[in-house]
Amino acid sequence: MMELVLNPQLTLRAGLTGDQDDQSAGFAGARLSNSLFTIDGDISHDGAEGRANAFSSLFLGDRFYASVGSVLTQDQLEQITAFLGWMNQGGLGGYAQNTYAPETDTNSGFAILADRFAMNRGALDFRNSLASGTRAETPFVLAGWAPPDGKLTQRLALTGKWSVDDKTATGQAKVYFRPDGGNLFVALGGNDQYDRATGDHTPTAIADVFALVPGTPLGARAIYTVDLETGQKGGQAALWYSNSF
């Protein structure tokens, strides 16, 4: 991908992408941003089908943030994503995001309320870019990785995630705490999956810890789960390079 920064407000980009089937596509895109709004989008074509990924956001009064993004092909609207946020850095703030996929009739989303909100407009625009697939996202190359949810607050936060389709409904809630406001977060919560066909619930308790390893550029994360129906326990652990939290 090649990018051309014409001025602080306007960036043009173009290039080629590929997928696991060795199918390549040419694309062109642009990003226009000023103190009031951001518009970011790509148009691509693989020789058989055209595709458009885009989002636009509105920023008012140094606090209110709203946006909508979509993924379009020649035949259909694949998904549409909406954001609403209150960016009160260092104070009470948060945002909610929901994505709807018409083909599968699926709604999925995320919401956070933090007592010391840590995100700014650029961070929310970045999450919009990931959600809408701008900047030539492919199965192999992402525009970037969103930070852990614990980084969204400087101290305490309540988060929720959900996914609903015609077969299942899944919900998750967590409380995050950053004891030192920086290098460590701890989260406790749970999730439940409801099977519409059988009426069965699968409740799970979750503990999640992330920290930077002192004296190194490494980050470590551990997740511990307990199935509240069967008592079965599980977990995950990861260690990776992370020069900042």
Res 22 pLDDT > 70: no
> How large is the average pLDDT for residues 186-196?
96
Residue 141 has pLDDT above 60, yes or no: no
> For position 101, what pLDDT does the model report?
95
User: With 90 as the cut, is the pLDDT of residue 151 above it?
Assistant: no
Q: Which of 1-15, 129-143, 230-244 has the lowest mean pLDDT?
A: 129-143
Burial class (CB in 10 A: 0-12, 13-18, 19+), 5: exposed
Residue 27: the pLDDT is 85
Tokens of 232: 């079965």
pLDDT (0 to 100) of residue 73: 87
Angle at 235 between CA 245 and CA 201, to 5 degrees: 110
Q: Mind giving me the DSSP string for the chain?
A: -EEEE-SSSEEEEEEEEE-TT--EEEEEEEEEE-SSEEEEEEEEE-SS-EEEEEEEEEEETTTEEEEEEEEEESS-EEEEEEEEEE--BTSSEEEEEEEEETTTTEEEEEEEEESSB---HHHHHHHHHHHHTTTT--SS--S--PPPGGGGBSSEEEEEEEEE-SSEEEEEEEEEE-TTSSSEEEEEEEEEEEETTT--EEEEEEEEEEEEPTTSSEEEEEEEEEETTT--EEEEEEEEE-S--
Reply yes or no on whether the pLDDT at 212 is more than 50: yes
pLDDT average, residue stretch 19-45: 84
Maximum separation of any 2 CA atoms in the chain, in Å: 59
Higher-scoring residue by pLDDT: 141, 110 = 110
pLDDT-based confidence at residue 50 (cuts at 50, 70, 90): confident
Average pLDDT, the chain: 87
Whether 147 has a pLDDT exceeding 70, the answer reads no
Quick one: pLDDT band at residue 231, thresholds 50, 70, 90?
A: very high
Nearest one of 205, 60, 56 to 134, comparing CA atoms:
56
pTM as predicted = 0.84
Q: Return the pLDDT at 127.
A: 87
Assign 74 a pLDDT band (cuts: 50, 70, 90).
confident
Task: Give residue limits of the domains in the chain.
Answer: 1-146, 157-245
Q: Of all residues in the chain, what percent carry a pLDDT higher than 70?
A: 89
Distance CA 97, CA 160 (A): 10
Q: Pairing state of beta strands 168-177 and 201-212?
A: unpaired
